[in-house]
Amino acid sequence: MPLSPMGYDYGFILNNLILLLTTSLSLFFCSITFIEGFLTSFFYPSALIPLLPRLHLQFQSLGTQQQIQEKDMAHVEPENMEMNLYQVNSAVRRPRILLAASGSVAAIKFANLCHCFSEWAEVKAVATQASLHFVDRIALPKDVILYTDEDEWSSWKKIGDNVLHIELRKWADIMVIAPLSANTLAKIAGGLCDNLLTCIVRAWDYSKPMFVAPAMNTLMWNNPFTERHLMGIDDLGISLIPPVKKRLACGDYGNGAMAEPSLIYSTVRLFFETREQ
């Protein structure tokens, strides 16, 4: 705002003159109203009563105008606040979850697992050849792409083309293998990578979380090899969602059934949201 030769701020003087003029006019009209009411009530006392709300509103209006003008002079909103808030909100994306199924009867629940996660996150799915005996592809969510071993090299034509197991590893925030069969557990613990799923695991960036939910017969679960393999994947930083005891598909009763999809989902989501905080 330009200053006068004497150093006065013209804008500050003008704003105060406007405020003074507005206040004076309001007080003038309030005074007229009061005098009118007083003279009327002198001859007709009951006539003053209807004027009281009018007087109250005029004084209230005067106070409101002063508050608004003082607020405008003392406070300036940041120019792009709304735009900045919109940009922050639009930048927040959904978690990216890579779900994988290996060859276990529990893979019949894989579609249900995908539905649980797809309500909260972006989901892509991987299935081994053996798991396709049990996975119901038709029941999968429509927006979930299921990748199999056949897709591993089908899109690769020449050096420089994308490699699927690397692209999926880059895309995912978290990987969840459910069910994890005894065979795939042994492969991961031994570092084998002979299909799409195990290639992703072998290429995994272990700064990102991975969860496994084993499913196998009770005696397979209690086998000494299983304990060794679990210790091996624990050393990699892979988190275990342990199996539960129930009547298994083979008819045996005991530990080895995959945890329910809802429990797997809630465990992963709680971990993710706790870590984000």
Is residue 251 within 8 A of residue 219, CB to CB? The reply is: no
d(CA 12, CA 14): 6
Exactly one of 114, 116, 165, 199 is catalytic; name it. 165
Exactly one of 56, 114, 193, 250 is catalytic; name it. 250
Instruction: Spell out a b/e string for 150-159, using b for 16 or more CB atoms within 10 Å of the CB, else e.
Output: eebeeeeeee
Q: Which amino acid is at 100?
A: A
CA dihedral 182, 188, 189, 190 (to 10 degrees): 110
250 catalytic per annotation: yes
Which of the 8 DSSP states describes residue 145? E
Report, in angstroms and rounded to the nearest whole number, the Rg of the chain calculated over CA atoms. 36
Residues known to be catalytic: 165, 250
